[in-house]
């Protein structure tokens, strides 16, 4: 297993000291040549391929963890439809479950882009592990960090960064794309000390492994969506897994139906304000869509790398398959699409970090990344021929995994609606 000693200090302090340089950019050197001669050097914005030293080192850390720990287990986890506890422990040990969480709350205190990079690198090897990390960081941790009181943060965030998986519980049987049609209720007890939750949730990621749940329920159905409130629950409060879904892809990522039957939740567990849960959900899903885009570009890159590598090992008609002109053109077109999706994703991430509007850009990134993930992973199977159709290569798994990108955290039609409204 990847060395657990890396968890001895927060990821942030392991990677780089910020003393005197809060954003030390690691940029590729500019080649000296005609451009420098024909115009004087000027100050220009940095490209989207510039990252802090911290972000670059995190990428290397996650890449190594994914290859050494996740990779050897990915096929077995997919077959068993269960996440290996050693993989989950490795995510905690390497500081990847509290990437943006402040260091004084046991987190790594890195940038949002760092979280996106982590998801991308994990998805190259196994998108199931990537989505566990993504939901935990960009949804659960972020809701508590941005909307939770100081007491809420101190109570929940340290464990989420070090030992307990989190789950985001919004979707219901009759509240999918129309998320605010949810019917789970939270009624204030006569004592005024706690709420009683009743209802069910479906398609809930991480729910099989989670010990912490953020549950959206309506405290006053007469107010419609303005009664929706977010609650923090621990599993031992009475959260029940009614059914685990058997899925086409991302099989080792648990997706379950949850039941809440007279679950008592202290009023102190309200995250944010009463009746403002709808606002939390809208804002946080915009951020989460960037994470799903990262998952999809990582998946596409992983499929591309496997297939191209194979094409330059196999010979037909006396030459390497990859040397045929048509194959080269196919590789080039796929590389363009992956790069375009990656830049859309990085751009949305940086806009979010800068506090600028990013809703449209997040929707564009998620939509396009999910489309090209399906295209590239499907093409990769064809590039490798019969062996790509077998389980000897991970391509059929990546293709199966790719389909979910167009469905969760807002279907592609919903993304198009969002983009169109903001044009």
Strand, coil or helix: what is 241?
A: strand
CA angle 131, 134, 135 (to 5 degrees): 85
* 346 contacts 338 by C-beta, under 8 angstroms: no
Residue 32, classified by CB atoms within 10 Å of its CB into exposed (0-12), middle (13-18) or buried (19+), is exposed
Q: Report d(CA 209, CA 84) in Å as an integer.
A: 10
The CA-atom distances, in angstroms, between 82 and each of 3, 246, 251 are: 23, 11, 7
Could you confirm whether 409 is annotated as catalytic?
Answer: yes
What are the beta bridge partners of residue 195? 188, 265
CA-closest candidate to residue 399, choices 364, 416, 423, 375: 375
Strand boundaries in 46-107, DSSP class E: 51-52
Roughly what angle, to the nearest 10 degrees, separates helices 325-353 and 359-383? 160
Q: Which residues contact 33 (CB under 8 A, 6 or more apart)?
A: none
283-292 burial code (b ≥16 CB/10 A, e <16): ebbbbbbbbb
Complete DSSP assignment for 171-237: -BTTBSSSGGG---EEEEPTTSSEEEEEEEEEEEETTTT-SEEEEEEES-GGGGGGGEEEEEEEGGG
Token readout for 358 is 């990013």
First vs last C-alpha separation in the chain: 48
Which of the residues 54, 120, 172, 409 is marked catalytic? 409
Q: Report d(CA 256, CA 251) in Å as an integer.
A: 12
Neighbours of 293 (CB within 10 A): 33
Residues labelled catalytic: 409
């Amino acid at each position: 297993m990847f060395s657990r000693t890396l968890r001895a200090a927060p990821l942030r302090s392991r990677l780089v000291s910020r003393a005197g340089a809060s954003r030390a950019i690691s940029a590729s050197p500019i080649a000296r040549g005609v451009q420098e001669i024909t115009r004087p050097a000027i100050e220009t914005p940095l490209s989207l391929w510039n990252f802090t030293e911290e972000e670059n080192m995190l990428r290397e850390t996650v890449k190594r963890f994914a290859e050494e720990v996740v990779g050897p287990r990915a096929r077995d986890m997919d077959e068993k439809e269960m996440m290996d506890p050693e993989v989950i422990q490795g995510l905690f040990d390497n500081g990847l479950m509290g990437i943006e969480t402040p260091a004084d709350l046991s987190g790594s205190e890195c940038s949002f882009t760092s979280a996106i990079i982590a998801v991308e690198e994990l998805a190259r090897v196994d998108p199931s592990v990537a989505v566990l990390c993504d939901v935990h960081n960009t949804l659960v941790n972020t809701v508590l960090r941005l909307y939770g009181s100081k007491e809420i943060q101190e109570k929940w965030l340290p464990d989420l960064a070090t030992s307990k998986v989190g789950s985001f519980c919004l979707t219901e049987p009759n509240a999918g794309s129309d998320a605010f049609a949810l019917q789970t209720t939270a009624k204030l007890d006569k004592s005024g000390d706690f709420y009683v939750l009743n209802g069910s949730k479906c398609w809930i990621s991480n729910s099989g492994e989670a010990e912490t749940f953020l549950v959206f329920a309506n405290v006053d159905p007469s107010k419609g969506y303005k009664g929706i409130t977010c609650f923090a629950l621990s599993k031992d409060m009475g959260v029940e897994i009614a059914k685990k879904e058997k899925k086409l892809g991302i099989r080792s990522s648990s997706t379950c139906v949850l039941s809440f039957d007279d679950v008592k939740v202290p009023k102190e567990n309200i995250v944010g304000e009463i009746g403002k849960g709808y606002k939390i959900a809208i804002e946080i899903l915009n951020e989460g869509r960037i994470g799903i885009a990262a998952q999809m570009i990582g998946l596409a890159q992983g499929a591309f790398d496997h297939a191209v590598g194979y094409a330059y090992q196999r010979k037909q008609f006396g030459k390497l398959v990859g040397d045929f002109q048509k194959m080269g053109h196919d590789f080039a077109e796929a590389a363009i699409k992956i790069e375009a999706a990656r830049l859309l994703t990085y751009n949305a991430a940086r806009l979010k970090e800068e506090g600028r509007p990013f809703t449209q850009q997040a929707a564009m990134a998620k939509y396009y990344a999910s489309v090209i993930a399906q295209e590239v992973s499907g093409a990769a199977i064809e590039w490798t021929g019969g062996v790509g159709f077998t389980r000897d290569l991970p391509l059929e798994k990546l293709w199966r995994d790719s389909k979910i990108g167009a469905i969760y955290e807002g279907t592609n039609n919903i993304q198009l609606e969002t983009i169109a409204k903001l044009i």
